[in-house]
Structure 1
Amino acid sequence: MDLILDFPVLLVIIVILALIFDYINGFHDAANSIATIVATKVLTPFQAVLWAAFFNFAAYFIAKAGAGFAVGNTIAKTVHEDFITLEVILAGLIAAITWNLLTWKLGIPSSSSHTLIGGFMGAALMHAWMEYQTFEHVINVAKVLPIFLFIFLAPFIGMLMAYIITLAILWICRRTNPHKADKWFKKLQLVSSALFSLGHGANDAQKVMGIIGAAVISYHLSLPAEANDVYQAMDASLRFDYFVDHYEWVPITSFIFIALGTLSGGWKIVKTMGSKITKVTPLEGVAAETAGAFTLFLTEKLGIPVSTTHTITGAIIGVGITKRISAVRWGVTISLLWAWILTIPVSALFAALVYWVVSLI
């Protein structure tokens, strides 16, 4: 708990901005876990955000109990340590917050994860060019490549799983009274929505942990050699774990802020996710949320930060195509795809510009 006493002003500002981003991430992505449950009228919007916020925070205890913080570790290591400075992280956060607010205002369900990653990398690349006139060895390709691959794989896995789960449910319930089945699936949707909210909390709160961790580690590595700092003497692979163990308030605060953000909702995106892609029934809501939760738990186990937005969108498309291909509004889906593809490069370019401005101050 020695944070404020030990940290310089810039690092404190970065921590505050990171938590602001965490909060914005919560209300920006609230739609991911509640869109289908609101669209099917299982819960009112207010009840739905309370439900999602509770399980967003509850994910902390699962991670603490043994699931770990592998996603946060990955985020902290997307850029090589030699090119991480407090100014780089500051510029990346400003860019990520701006892009998130813009897409929220426009009702575009873009990825908060990829916004943060793009901003971090863009600012680091600008720093490397301004200081060393090179882009070589700035990005940790081994960490970043799986993130780029899962821009496409996460929605595809979500779509495939939702398609299979929907067909399996339809076959199992083929002789069940439709009205009775509908009542059961409305109850089951509470469970599937909770599972997806757990996945969302564990995935997205860790990204802010990763950024704060990268900032703390960078600060310690910049200290004079005579400071005899423990981070400098430690193997690079162990630094993030050491950070988590010694700043226990960071994980719990990250989960609290994403839960508070979820309580604020994000109704424009709820409308897009819950009704504009395809019309969703309680049965299909259960299938989509279960498929999305499975995908998030899988990627968290692998330590790959993915977009919960991409994941649940793919799952919603998966349940739509079980009816017929035309049931999916492909015009809306293609617009979302463009937003996904552009998020990382646009965030990176904006962060590079912000870093350039910051470096002039």
Structure 2
Amino acid sequence: MDTLFWMAVATVVVVLIFDYTNGFHDAANIVATVIASRAMTPIQAVCIVGFFEFMGPLLGGTAVANTIGKFVDLGDVQPQLAVLIMFCGLLGAIVWNLATWWLGIPSSSSHALVGGLAGAVVAAVGSDHVIWGFQELMTQGKLTGVMKVLLALFVSPLLGFWVGFGIHRLGRRLLAGAKPTANATLRKMQFVTAAGLAFSHGANDAQKSMGMLTLVLLLGGFIPTFEVPFWVVLSCAAAITLGIMSGGWRIVRTLGFAIYRVRPLHAFDSQLTSALLIFSASMIGAPVSTTHVVATSIMGIGYSERPRAVRWKKAKDIAKTWVITIPASALTSIVIYAITRIMLGQTT
């Protein structure tokens, strides 16, 4: 077996580890409101969310994978170097994911992936190998490359806030004269909305890893065109589901309790908002951050009810993490690339 083969194997493993940490990191985003509103026990939440998380990548198509897999251009780069770049970029994203998980900060795995891969590419072969998308947008009015990814990541939190705001206002009007027993119904309805959120998360987030894994296979010459093989879909679905079921419970406290005090109606509205937005994004190939959408939907819901009760300081802390994630993960991957080159004696 040649060096390229083993490098590709190592990178595929790293992709699946990233997919696992993505699920591990985002578990709290999906189950936080369910648990905080006491609609499900943690075991119930993990079982239901795990099943629908697995089904999301299998039935959600490959539109997001196509977007993620095509924002860097390494076609003219020597295969071993191209695979090494992918390896270092993904490892940078993993390190950032684990660091923010340890600190209990709900940062974006999507931002980490974009920053990590872009940083490694720029460090290794220059910025012209990243498809930024500025020129295409200005000359053709076409969204592509990094511009498409960043626009989706920027717009989705704003939509999360205002759609959550609107849905909660509507929900409060519809339940204005309801008895306290309505909370029991809302808790039962969360079995549906939580399942929908898990499905949409799998359909969007697992596709990011599917795109990366397929790109590794293409750059290594193992497949002729960028088409996602079924075994890639299955592997990524399994990895992210295992991550979800392992759970990032440190972040549950932040999302479920630290932003706004979540009640059954708040939880239902947040899950409904997040599921609708993330699934819609998956259908048009827009990679979004579940962390962003869930957190801002809770903020919007809290703002629509009692603006002063929203813990804006915690929201600002989260926002700062969102801002620094791309440059921080890019810097991490650059450092990892430099160390790797030294360890390999700069022979790759």
Alpha-carbon separation, structure 2, partners of 1:339 and 1:253? 30
Identify the residue that residue 164 of structure 1 maps to in structure 2: 166
Paired residue type of 1:254: C
Alpha-carbon separation, structure 2, partners of 1:61 and 1:219? 25
- Does residue 316 in structure 1 map to residue 298 in structure 2? yes
- Alignment counterpart, residue 174 of structure 1, candidates 173, 176, 187: 176
The residue matched to 2:304 in structure 1 has which SS? Answer: coil
Alpha-carbon separation, structure 2, partners of 1:83 and 1:262? 37
Alpha-carbon separation, structure 2, partners of 1:355 and 1:5? 21
- Does residue 197 in structure 1 map to residue 198 in structure 2? yes
Identify the residue that residue 212 of structure 2 maps to in structure 1: 211
- Does residue 346 in structure 1 map to residue 328 in structure 2? yes
TM-fit CA distance, 1:83: 6.5
Unmatched segments (≥5 aa) in structure 1? 130-134, 221-228, 232-238
TM-fit CA distance, 1:7: 7.2
Identify the residue that residue 138 of structure 1 maps to in structure 2: 130
Identify the residue that residue 7 of structure 2 maps to in structure 1: 10
- Does residue 32 in structure 1 map to residue 33 in structure 2? no
**What pairs with 1:26-105 in structure 2 (closer than 5 Å)?**
26-63=23-60, 68-82=61-75, 85-105=82-102
Alpha-carbon separation, structure 2, partners of 1:114 and 1:274? 22
Alpha-carbon separation, structure 2, partners of 1:62 and 1:8? 30
- Does residue 253 in structure 1 map to residue 235 in structure 2? yes
Alpha-carbon separation, structure 2, partners of 1:61 and 1:262? 16
- Alignment counterpart, residue 299 of structure 1, candidates 256, 281, 286: 281
TM-fit CA distance, 1:6: 12
Unmatched segments (≥5 aa) in structure 2? 134-143
Alpha-carbon separation, structure 2, partners of 1:176 and 1:325? 23
The residue matched to 1:109 in structure 2 has which SS? Answer: coil
Identify the residue that residue 187 of structure 2 maps to in structure 1: 186
Deviation string for 1:218-271 (max 9, x for gaps)?
Answer: 111xxxxxxxx872xxxxxxx222xx2xx3111011011111111111111011
Contact 2:57 2:207 in 1 (8 A): no
Alpha-carbon separation, structure 2, partners of 1:298 and 1:357? 40
Alpha-carbon separation, structure 2, partners of 1:174 and 1:145? 43
TM-fit CA distance, 1:61: 3.4
- Alignment counterpart, residue 123 of structure 1, candidates 120, 125, 128: 120
TM-fit CA distance, 1:151: 3.0
TM-score by length of 2: 0.90
Alpha-carbon separation, structure 2, partners of 1:26 and 1:82? 30
Paired residue type of 1:30: A
- Does residue 240 in structure 1 map to residue 226 in structure 2? yes
Paired residue type of 2:226: F
The residue matched to 1:139 in structure 2 has which SS? Answer: coil
Percent identity of equivalent pairs:
38
Paired residue type of 1:32: N
Identify the residue that residue 235 of structure 1 maps to in structure 2: none
Deviation string for 1:80-134 (max 9, x for gaps)?
Answer: 13366001001011111111111000000001111111111110001114xxxxx
Residues 303/230 of structure 1: CA separation in 2 closer, same or farther (3 Å cut): closer
TM-fit CA distance, 1:70: 0.8
- Does residue 327 in structure 1 map to residue 309 in structure 2? yes
Paired residue type of 1:205: A
Alpha-carbon separation, structure 2, partners of 1:357 and 1:137? 21
TM-fit CA distance, 1:137: 4.8
Identify the residue that residue 337 of structure 1 maps to in structure 2: 319
The residue matched to 1:306 in structure 2 has which SS? Answer: coil
Contact 2:217 2:223 in 1 (8 A): no
The residue matched to 2:220 in structure 1 has which SS? Answer: helix
Deviation string for 1:34-80 (max 9, x for gaps)?
Answer: 000000111112221222111100113322xxxx2111111111111
Contact 1:83 1:124 in 2 (8 A): no
Contact 1:80 1:140 in 2 (8 A): no
Identify the residue that residue 150 of structure 1 maps to in structure 2: 152
Contact 1:77 1:140 in 2 (8 A): no
Contact 1:24 1:97 in 2 (8 A): yes
Q: CA RMSD in A?
A: 1.8
Deviation string for 1:276-326 (max 9, x for gaps)?
Answer: 000111111111111011110121122111111001001111110121211
The residue matched to 2:177 in structure 1 has which SS? Answer: coil
Alpha-carbon separation, structure 2, partners of 1:56 and 1:83? 36
TM-score by length of 1: 0.87
Alpha-carbon separation, structure 1, partners of 2:92 and 2:58? 30
